[in-house]
Chain A
Amino acid sequence: MKFAKKLMALSLAAVMAGSCLTACGDSSKADGGKSGDENTIVIGGSGPLTGGAAQYGVAVKNAAQLAVDEINEAGGVNGVKFKLVFEDDEADPGDKAINAYNQLKDKGLQVMLGTVTTGSCLAVIDQTKKDNIFQITPSASAQDVIKNDNAFQVCFTDPNQGKASADYIAENNIAKKIAVIYDNSDAYSSGIFNTFKSEAKEKGLDIVAEQSFTKDSKTDFSAQISAAKSAEAELLFLPIYYQEASLILAQCKSADFSPKFFGCDGLDGILSVDNFDKSLAEGVMLLTPFAADASDDATQKFVKAYKEKYKDETPNQFAADAYDGVKIIAKLVEKESIKGNMSNSEICDKLKKAITDGFTYDGLTGQGMTWSAEGAVSKNPKAVVIKDGNYSAL
Chain B
Amino acid sequence: MKKKINPMTRKSFVTYGMLLIVFIAVEIMLNTGNISSMLQGLLVPICVYAILAVSLNLTVGILGELSLGQAGFMCIGAYSSAIFSNLVKDSITQPFIRFPIAIIIGGLCAALFGIIIGIPVLRLRGDYLAIVTLAFGEIIKNVFAALYIGYDSAGLHISLKSQGDLGLGADGKMMINGALGISGTPNDSTFEIAAAILFITLIIAYNFVNSRTGRAVMSIRDNRIAAESVGINITKYKLITFGLTAFLAGVAGVLYSHNFYSLQASKFDYNMSILVLVFVVLGGIGSIRGSVIAAAVLTMLPEFLRSVNKYRMLMYAVVLIVMMICTSNETIRNFFVRNFEKLKGLIIKNKSKTVKEAE
Chain A residues at the B interface, C-beta cutoff of 8 Å: 3-5, 7-9, 12-13, 15-16, 19-20, 22-24, 26-27, 30, 49-51, 87-88, 92-95, 98-99, 101-103, 105-106, 119, 122-123, 125-127, 142, 144, 184-187, 190, 193-194, 197-198, 210, 212, 214-216
Contacts and interface: CB of A to CB of B under 8 A. Distances in A.
Contacts of B201: none
Given A26-B38, A102-B37, A214-B145, A19 B297 contact: yes
B238 interface: no
B290 A5 contact: yes
Contact of B303 (A9, A16, A103, A125): A103
A16 B290 CA distance: 12
B283 A26 contact: no
Nearest to B259: A95
Interface string B214-227: 00000000000000
Closest 8 CB pairs of A and B: A27-B36, A102-B41, A122-B262, A102-B37, A126-B261, A105-B37, A185-B179, A93-B264
B301 A15 contact: yes
Nearest to A91: B266
B41 A98 contact: yes
B256 interface: yes
B256 A94 contact: yes
B129 interface: no
Nearest to A119: B264
Contact of A88 (B260, B301, B306, B337): B306
B213 interface: no
Nearest to B138: A216
Q: Is the interface of B mostly helix, strand, loop or mixed?
A: helix
Interface in B185-234: 187
B181 to A, nearest CB: 8
A12 B36 contact: no
B162 interface: yes
12 contacts: A7-B327, A8-B283, A16-B296, A27-B34, A50-B310, A103-B37, A106-B36, A123-B261, A125-B261, A194-B164, A212-B162, A214-B179
B337 A7 contact: yes
Contacts, number: 161
A250 B179 CA distance: 27
A198 B164 contact: yes
B13 interface: no
Given A3-B340, A123-B261, 5 more contacts: A19-B297, A19-B300, A94-B256, A105-B38, A119-B266
A99 B145 contact: no
A184 B38 contact: no
Given A102-B40, A186-B179, A16 B300 contact: yes
B312 A126 contact: no
A50 B178 contact: no
Given A102-B36, A197-B164, A49 B333 contact: no
B12 interface: no
A9 B11 CA distance: 13
B242 to A, nearest CB: 25
Q: Is the interface of A mostly helix, strand, loop or mixed?
A: helix
B266 A93 contact: yes
A4 B38 contact: no
B117 interface: no
Contacts of B309: 49
Given A30-B36, A185-B179, A214 B162 contact: no
B8 to A, nearest CB: 13
B86 interface: no
Nearest to B305: A19
Contacts of A190: 162-163, 178-180
A103 B201 CA distance: 30
B19 interface: no
Interface in B128-179: 142, 145-146, 162-164, 178-179
A129 to B, nearest CB: 9
Nearest to B44: A95
B125 interface: no
A15 B295 CA distance: 12
Nearest to A103: B38
Contacts of A126: 187, 261
Q: Of residues A23, A101, A198, which shows the largest number of chain B Cβ atoms within 10 Å of its Cβ?
A: A23
A51 B162 CA distance: 28
A306 B228 CA distance: 70
B239 interface: no
A16 B294 CA distance: 9
A292 to B, nearest CB: 24
Contacts of A51: 313
B297 A15 contact: yes
Nearest to B310: A49
Interface string B252-271: 00001001111110110000
Contacts of B260: 94-95, 98, 123
B45 interface: yes
Q: Of residues A9, A94, A98, A210, which shows the largest number of chain B Cβ atoms within 10 Å of its Cβ?
A: A94
A102 B297 contact: no
A9 B146 CA distance: 42
Given A4-B327, A94-B267, A23 B180 contact: no
Given A15-B301, A88-B306, A184-B162, A144 B183 contact: yes
Nearest to A212: B162
A214 B146 CA distance: 9
Contacts of B187: 126
Contact of A3 (B145, B163, B337): B337
B262 A12 contact: no
Contacts of B180: 122, 142, 144, 187, 190
A95 B52 CA distance: 15
A12 B179 contact: no
B325 interface: no
A94 B42 CA distance: 12
A106 B37 contact: yes
B160 to A, nearest CB: 10
A99 B146 contact: no
Contacts of B263: 93-94
Interface in B14-58: 34-42, 45
Contact of B36 (A26, A185, A215): A26
Contacts of A27: 34-39
B226 to A, nearest CB: 22
A185 B145 contact: yes
A143 to B, nearest CB: 10
